[in-house]
Amino acid sequence: MKAKYLKPVVFLACLVPLGRLAWNAYSSALGANPIQVITWSTGTWTIVFLMVTLSVTPVRQLTKQYWLIQYRRMFGLFAFFYGCLHFVTYIWLDQFFDLHSIAKDVVKRKFITVGFTAFVLMIPLALTSTQRAIRWLGKRWQKLHRLIYVTAIAGVVHYIWLVKKDIRVPLIYAVILGVLLLYRVIVRATQHTPVQQRMDKPTTRIDRSTVAAD
Amino acid sequence: MLIKKPSDIPSAEITPKGLYLNRRSFIAGAGALAGVALAARQLSHIIAPSEKVIAGTKLDYGKSSYSTSEKETPFNDITHYNNYYEFSTDKYEPADLAKNFNPRPWTIKVEGLVNKPKTFDVDALLKKHLEERIYRMRCVEGWSMVIPWIGFPLSALLSEVEPISKAKFVEFTSLHDPKRFPGQQRNVLEWPYVEGLRMDEAMHPLTILAVGLYGETLPNQDGAPVRLVVPWKYGFKGIKAIVDIKLVEKQPISTWTKAAPNEYGFYSNVNPDVDHPRWSQAKERRIGEFLKRPTLMYNGYGDQVAYMYNGMDLKKNF
């Protein structure tokens, strides 16, 4: 087992963006338009955590640090957590529960439609992230959790579409996502059964309960 | 110490904890937004007015009946939340990036279809009869401010050069100098920034050239030394750092129209009923306020300006 205290440290590190945001809100350092900053920050961290989650598999395979799989669920749940904050910011702080205008937005604005889709698709993944759900779903769990690819793509498209003109930053995420997806395509194309077994074995040894959705 | 067996935390517990923090942060966030943040910012504005000094010299000006009595947006917000792509596409950056921008010496050439073309020195313009115009400013992005501009009617400048009857539009051009405008080192927009008004819009008494803000010369990040203010149009029509004003026969093509013709039209009158293709324009967030407020037709200046657009299809001429 890697360092005993690594997991809680990583957990707390994942909360730093939220802590920083809360601190800045208290010390009124969020600038002229705090709600926009909160929306932007929570949205950004949702995408970052989606990218981090999707990096776990390539990184652990390429570096042979197979124990990293233990962190994938935590990262995925943090993506969902920041996604929830982002969604609630929009519903509460931005729209202030104006259901009429929210409904109109979701249908009419394609960047909101696609962002909403990304968020909704994360819900079943978060709900089935427990050991019990993994056991119960068996092989189907892996299939279901491939939805994260759709969420990640939709999330990046959401970002690109909402920017007024300067799309440099969302394009960086698009490139990262492209690389992460391409890795999977390549692995799939060149994969033979023995390789897969070799890759999966250490996973099952370290963390039997976690299914590797490579 | 706190967590004895970290690896044994069932993941199922992570979510409830997350939701717990989530709820707490919102209570915190909302509380801060509703009260503390505002109060603190207000307070910091009072106890640290030193930032005002950066803006420059005091101006002599009179009051105007065109001013609104609405609560003015704090100076600090007007100078630290700027859409000024010549400096940066990030609204928080121009305040810092514009620090060393020197708006002197500066001249504005007024030319084109006029009898007496003339080049004005900006310091001469500051000696004109200046008025304070407290206007609402509605950004196309869905936020708004109330800004106490100091300036003079554009019509005062235009009548000096005597436009000829062939002149139907006014075309404004910003400074193009990538050395002083770091944002111009990238072609995020086509430089220099160009804007335009129809002749009647340009001559309208509400249309001003602003040279100041809060009683002092214009801060660099707000468009120093001279910018256009057309309060019934979206903010981006208010071209900054003007170097050239040309009277022309054909309708100029604005920079944002060139960048996205389906999103930003020539008129760009504030209109809650005509949405931006990507977002609604029905409401706006007044900077410093928590709840959004409904956006007003022509930004609330309909009584003064609606006649200019009688019979026009505003959905087509957005």
Secondary structure (DSSP) of chain B: --SS-GGGS-GGGHHHHHHHHHHHHHHHHHHIIIIIHHHHHHHHHHH-TTHHHHH--B---B--TT---SPPPPHHHHTTS--BTTTBSSTTSHHHHTTT----S-EEEEEESBSS-EEEEHHHHTTS--EEEEEEEE-TTSEEEEEEEEEEEHHHHHHHH-B-TT--EEEEEE---TTT-GGGGS-SSPSSPEEEEEHHHHHSTT-EEEEEETTEEPPGGGTSS-EEE-TTB-GGGS--SEEEEEEESSPPPPHHHHH-TTTS-SS-B--TTS-BTTB--SEEEETT-SS-EEPPGGGGTHHHHGGGGTT--TTT--
Q: What pLDDT is stored for residue B88 in this prediction?
A: 96
Mean pLDDT value across residues B83-99: 96
- Chain A residue whose CA is closest to B80: A32
- Chain A residue whose CA is closest to B83: A164
Smallest Cβ–Cβ distance between B89 and the set A85, A105, A166 belongs to A166
Smallest Cβ–Cβ distance between A165 and the set B32, B143, B189 belongs to B189
Shortest alpha-carbon distance between residue A88 and chain B (Å): 9
The pLDDT-based confidence of A2 (bands split at 50, 70, 90) is: low
Q: Do B6 and A8 touch (CB under 8 A)?
A: yes
Indicate if the pLDDT at residue B25 is higher than 50: no
Name the CATH superfamily for B57-309.
Oxidoreductase, molybdopterin-binding domain (3.90.420.10)
Q: Do B29 and A25 touch (CB under 8 A)?
A: yes
Q: What mean pLDDT is reported for chain A? A: 89
Q: Do A15 and B21 touch (CB under 8 A)?
A: yes
The pLDDT-based confidence of A194 (bands split at 50, 70, 90) is: low
Tens digits of residue pLDDT in B214-243: 999 999 999 999 999 999 999 999 999 999
Is B185 near chain A, with CB under 8 Å? no
Q: Where are the domains of chain A?
A: 6-206
Tens digits of residue pLDDT in B281-305: 999 999 999 899 999 999 999 999 9
Indicate if the pLDDT at residue A55 is higher than 90: yes
Q: Do A77 and B259 touch (CB under 8 A)?
A: no
Smallest Cβ–Cβ distance between B14 and the set A25, A74, A166 belongs to A74
- Bridge partners (DSSP) of residue B114 are B163
Q: What pLDDT is stored for residue A1 in this prediction?
A: 52
The pLDDT-based confidence of A164 (bands split at 50, 70, 90) is: confident
Q: Do A35 and B285 touch (CB under 8 A)?
A: yes
- B5 C-beta neighbours (distance < 10 Å), count: 8
Indicate if the pLDDT at residue A58 is higher than 50: yes
The Cα angle at residue B80 between residues B76 and B85, in degrees rounded to 5:
150
**Number of cross-chain residue pairs from A and B with Cβ atoms under 8 Å apart:** 127
Smallest Cβ–Cβ distance between A77 and the set B18, B44, B80 belongs to B18
% of chain B with per-residue pLDDT over 90: 81
Indicate if the pLDDT at residue A198 is higher than 80: no
Instruction: Tell me which of A9, A12, A15, A33 to substitute to probe the interface with B (most B C-beta atoms closer than 10 Å).
Output: A33
Q: What mean pLDDT is reported for chain B? A: 87
% of chain A with per-residue pLDDT over 90: 73
Backbone angles phi, psi at B176, to 5 degrees: -115, 105
Q: Do B26 and A21 touch (CB under 8 A)?
A: no
* Sign of the alpha-carbon torsion through B83, B88, B89, B91: negative
Q: Do B11 and A77 touch (CB under 8 A)?
A: yes
Q: Do B25 and A8 touch (CB under 8 A)?
A: no
Least confident interval from A27-36, A98-107, B25-34: B25-34
